[in-house]
Amino acid sequence: MLEYKAPVRDIKFVMQELLDCESHYQHLGYQDASIDMVDAIIGEAAKLTEKVIAPLNQIGDQQGCSWNDGVVTTPDGFKAAYKQYVDGGWPTLSQSAEFGGQGLPHSLNITIAELFSAANHSFAMYPGLSHGALATIEAHASDVQKQQFMPKLVEGTWTGTMCLTEPHCGTDLGMLRTKAEIYDDGSYSISGTKIFISAGEHDLSDNIVHIVIARIPGAPQGNKGISLFIVPKFNVNNDGSISDRNGVSCGSIEHKMGINANATCVINFDGAKGYLIGEENRGLKCMFTFMNAARIGVANEGIAAAEASFQGALAYAKDRLQMRSISGIKNPDGAADPIIVHPDVRRMLLTQKSIAEGGRALVSYLAQLVDIGHAEQDEAIKADAETKLALLTPIAKAFLSELGFECTSHGVQIFGGHGFIKEWGMEQLMRDTKISCLYEGTTGIQALDLLARKIIGSKGEILKPFVNDMTMFCQENFDNPDMAEFIKPIMAYAKEWRDITLAIGAKAQKNLDEIGGASVDYLMYSGYVTLAFFWAKMAKVAQDKLAAGTNDSAFYQAKINTAQFFIQRMLPRAKGHAACIENGVDSMMALNSEDFVF
């Protein structure tokens, strides 16, 4: 069984030394977010995740959730752990003080969310989607709706879901059939079936608030006719108190590959009372508030998976004796050497470490951009942050979920046959993590969003602010010989990133399928280059700390060594993606559909 330890030292490095969260918070007016306060919150979160949440991970996988006539029961210990989570005030951390929240920065909350996800992915998903529901209601709902629903959602005694897809439509939400018919009092009758609803029914909270897309009769077809509604499990009075049961029921729970302790539900709406959020037929735009928050959360899950698999694999690799090192005996008193001495095991461990720590830097940076969007007064700074966030969110979601899954595969591999059996927990990590590549938009959907809608749609303009930051960092450190091994490749890749973008745009003018053919390779290329930039920045911080003198030299030297590994062994993967893009779409589309045979 895995024993998770919160990576507190690395979290503090990213927040305080790399991203200077103290200055960031003070500038934005988060006066309560002092370093002492941040350290205390992270420390308490570490205790809760290590001692309460992580021990339930394997139990939850073994027991799963049970369904009986619409009632879902979570595994042993989950209800008590969730009560402890709520009693500790964790749901309120970054929520508005107006509705009972603590008003702390989003970037602090996303850091804490990583710990919960790494400790127990299934558990973390129960409160996880509530943050997106809250963001959507706060941004788009009426004042009456906010007063009805937000206080209990903020408190955590109610939870939220996102109800998008249906059995027949998958990602193509314009095909939805769920109907919303207006009542005389202005509320709506919602009827239809939604599938794959994470935490759609459970026994942890007093009420579940579903955020649902549906079509009002007479609305335009496709995405232009989608409206958004609040549909609670129990009806809610104007003062926020619970009334009678609404026409919402759980038809079944899915039997899944992983995250067995989280109830993934079929939810039926049978004339359920719902409340329109925002304007009619503008629901998908409102829903993107939820989806963008969720996508950063999924990127965080990729980091969590890489971290948890690294911790398990590292402990095993130091202890497991197998064979002798090809360069000479390293453990003369033992029957064999520990497997950590073998280069291929080091390759897998460093892949895990470089993705976990590099991804943590990227997601923490994205979370600070969200802080800026919430609290910055300078509109130009806010616009710059929103542009970078729009570019990097699909990259982070898809790249880190894919690489997080790869890291769990390495974890199984390092354990060998022991990794394939349930006792050690490594195969559970792999099963639990695959979903992160799928929900909130698959890797292919994220790639199309990035390349078609954002890059091509903006004629490349959206790329410029972030690449300019990369270029400026390289120029500032160009004459530093200690940074040359990082700066030179990053400058070359930054130029190539721009060139590839222009080349795809030119090809697309002749054949639009070139966009779809290049999209995933383009996103993965972008991911490797982006993480290389953050590793270069971390290497610079580590070099400065070592030059100034420190009692933590081993930590900073490891940062530099891991940065070197990423630049030398991970970043070259981008060249393969670049070659695929250059080779174009023709070979993908050459076969007619009927020629695909088996």
Annotated catalytic residues are 440
Contact between residue 525 and residue 500 where contact means Cβ atoms under 8 Å apart: yes
CA 187 – CA 101 distance, rounded (Å)? 28
DSSP run (H or E) holding 193: strand 188-198
Contact between residue 120 and residue 1 where contact means Cβ atoms under 8 Å apart: no
CA angle 388, 389, 394 (to 5 degrees): 110
Provide the residue type at 72 as one letter. V
Nearest to 212 by CA among 168, 251, 242, 177: 177
Hey, what are 503's tokens? Answer: 């080349």
* Residue-level length of the chain: 598
CA 542 – CA 18 distance, rounded (Å)? 9
One-letter-per-residue 3-state SS of 229-270: EEEECEEECCCCCEEEECCEEEEEECCCCCCCCCCEEEEEEE
Dihedral sign of CA atoms 407, 409, 414, 419 in order: positive
CA 231 – CA 200 distance, rounded (Å)? 12
Nearest to 310 by CA among 300, 299, 298, 302: 302
Query: Using the 8-state DSSP alphabet, how is residue 340 labeled?
Result: G
* Secondary structure (DSSP) of 387-449: HHHHHHHHHHHHHHHHHHHHHHHHHHHHHTHHHHSGGGSHHHHHHHHHGGGTTTS-HHHHHHI
CA 118 – CA 418 distance, rounded (Å)? 21
Nearest to 537 by CA among 401, 365, 349: 365
Contact between residue 16 and residue 538 where contact means Cβ atoms under 8 Å apart: no
CA 290 – CA 141 distance, rounded (Å)? 13
Residue 572, CA distances (Å) to 360, 576, 577, 578, 579 in order: 21, 7, 9, 10, 11
CA 74 – CA 247 distance, rounded (Å)? 22
Inter-axis angle of helices 513-548 and 484-508, to 10 degrees?
Answer: 170
CA 253 – CA 199 distance, rounded (Å)? 10
Provide the residue type at 253 as one letter. I
**Residues with Cβ within 8 Å of residue 137, at least 6 apart in sequence:** 145, 146, 149, 150, 153, 211, 230, 277
Backbone torsions φ then ψ of 199, nearest 5 degrees? 55, 35
Contact between residue 394 and residue 466 where contact means Cβ atoms under 8 Å apart: no
Backbone torsions φ then ψ of 271, nearest 5 degrees? 65, 35
